[in-house]
Structure 1
Amino acid sequence: MTTRGDTLHAPDALQGTGPGQPPARLPLVVHVLALGTFLMGTTEFVVAGLLPEIAGDVQVSVAQAGLLITVFAVGMIVGAPLMAMLTLRLPRRLTLILALGVFAAGHVIVAVGSSFSLLLAARFLTALATGAFWAVANVVAARAAGPVSSSRALGVVGAGAMLANVVGVPLGAFAGQVMGWRGPFWALAALGAAAMVLIARHVAPDEVSHAAVSIRSELSALSSGRMWLVLVACATTTGGVLATYSYISPLLTDRAGLASGLVPLVLVGFGVGALAGFLVGGRLGDHRPHTTTIAAAATTPILLLALCLLSRSAAPTIVLVALLGLFGLGANPVLISLGVRFAGRAPTLGSALTVSAFNLGTAVGSWFAGLALESPLRATGPSAVGAAIGALTLIPTIAIALTQRRRSAVVMPDPGPDTSAL
Structure 2
Amino acid sequence: MQSSMSDAVLVGADAAVLESLPLPDHFPAAVVRREDVDIFRSMEDKDVRKSLLVDQVPMPELAPDEALIAVMASSINYNTVWTAMFEPVPTFQFLRQMGKNGGWEARHDLPYHIVGSDASGVIVRTGSSVRRWKAGDHVVVSPAYVDEQDHDTHRDGMLGEGQKAWGFETNFGGLAHYAVVRASQLMPKPAALSWEEAAVNPLCASTAYRMLVSERGARMKQGDVVLVWGATGGLGAYAVQLVLNGGGIPVGVVNSAAKASVLRSLGCEAVIDRTEIDEGDPTLLERPEGWRKMGKAIRAVAGEDPHIVFEHVGQKTFAASVFLARRGGIIITCGSSTGYEHLYDNRYLWMRLKRIIGSHGANLHEQWEVNRLLALGHVVPTLSRTYPLNDVASAARSVQTNQHIGKVGVLCLAPEPGLGVTDPSARARIDDKRLHAFRS
- Normalised-by-shorter TM-score class: under 0.3
Report 1 or 2 for greater relative contact order, CA contacts < 8 Å, sequence distance ≥ 6. 1
After TM superposition, the score normalised by the length of structure 1 is: 0.25
After TM superposition, the score normalised by the length of structure 2 is: 0.24
Higher strand share: 2
Higher helix share: 1
